A = this chain, B = another copy of it.
Amino acid sequence: MIKWCIGADMGGTTVKIGLLTTAGELVEKWEIPTRKEKEGVQVLPDIAAAILAKLEERGIAKEEVAGVGIGVPGPVGPDGFVPVCVNIGWRNGFYPERILSELLGGMKVKAGNDANVAALGEAWMGGAKGSDNATFITLGTGVGGGVIMGGQIVTGSKGLGGEIGHMVMNMEEPDACNCGNHGCLEQYASATGIVKEAKRVLLRSDAPSVLREKENFSCKDVWDAAKAGDAAAVETVEYCMKVLALAMSHITHLVDPENFVIGGGVSAAGEYLAELVRKYYAEFTHLLKDKPQISLATLGNDAGTYGAAKLILGE
């Protein structure tokens, strides 16, 4: 009888692996290093070895496991093809599902983009628990997203579904984004974007600010200063969250989710952040009487592990 599923969330430093029941209980989690050398040739064998050892340790037969889902930090085609994944060292396109399945003696394997997979995890057991129609936004070093519709991840025709960090929000932006474009959401709502915006605000006036006292301040410093009432910090986070809310209103006018879940390191700013987003989101969605729920992610770093495991259960 199938009782278990396994999720492996692959990052540039470690792979987070979790053993879950098919009902969504995370029974055990552990990490292994990501060996990126030699174009990451060892990454999948290491994951396979870790999983096989864990099953043996617990006396779980392969027949009791639905399979293994993996979250990949890069694009994954609808057929499982991964063209490139710089964070893992993979430079040549291949099908990691097939390789890992062989290494696991034929166990079922399914791959998904990490941000999409984290979205699936939050929709399954986290901030949008039980929702079939949710959008997840990760505010970290960059901005990622995942759209769940009818319980399934929207990958789009070329795997660009949910790439909301690169929606152009400001056609007048002089600075370039990592992607080469100008004015992407990521340039305003990521940790780096918020710090950069704070520096702009500080440059525009001589008004005092606690941020001026530090040579290099962090995104957390900006949020802490804003919560303490620092005018420059407040101006920064109001603007950045207004841009994020605008992007979310675009999502509403297109796929109209029931829930939005905001996660990633920046979301540690908590309810103060969520309230700013709700305020501006309401302004941009006049047509919507009954607003969707906008909440913070609850699974933290485990969202990807949950979502990868859910992937193998058929989304």
Contacts and interface: CB of A to CB of B under 8 A. Distances in A.
Nearest to A180: B286
Residue from A162, A166, A290 with most neighbouring chain B CB atoms (10 Å): A166
Given A158-B288, A181-B286, A253 B167 contact: yes
A161 B288 contact: no
Contacts of A171: 242, 246
Interface stretch (A40-48, A149-157, A221-229): A149-157
Contacts of A286: 166, 179-181
A75 to B, nearest CB: 9
A163 interface: yes
A157 B283 CA distance: 19
B257 A164 contact: no
Interface residues of A, number: 42
A252 interface: yes
Given A179-B287, A246-B168, A157 B258 contact: yes
Q: How many identical subunits does the complex contain?
A: 2
A250 B250 contact: yes
B160 A133 contact: no
A283 B166 CA distance: 12
Given A149-B149, A286-B179, A164 B254 contact: yes
Q: Is the interface of A mostly helix, strand, loop or mixed?
A: loop
A253 B163 contact: yes
Contacts of A257: 156-157
Nearest to A159: B256
Interface string A208-238: 0000000000000000000000000000000
A76 interface: no
A168 B255 contact: no
Contact of A284 (B159, B168, B255, B288): B168
Residue from A133, A145, A254, A286 with most neighbouring chain B CB atoms (10 Å): A254
Contacts of A255: 147, 154, 156, 161, 254-255
Interface in A263-297: 283-284, 286-288, 290, 292
Interface of A: 133, 145, 147, 149, 154-164, 166-168, 171, 179-181, 242, 246-247, 249-258, 283-284, 286-288, 290, 292
5 contacts: A156-B257, A157-B257, A158-B292, A159-B256, A168-B246
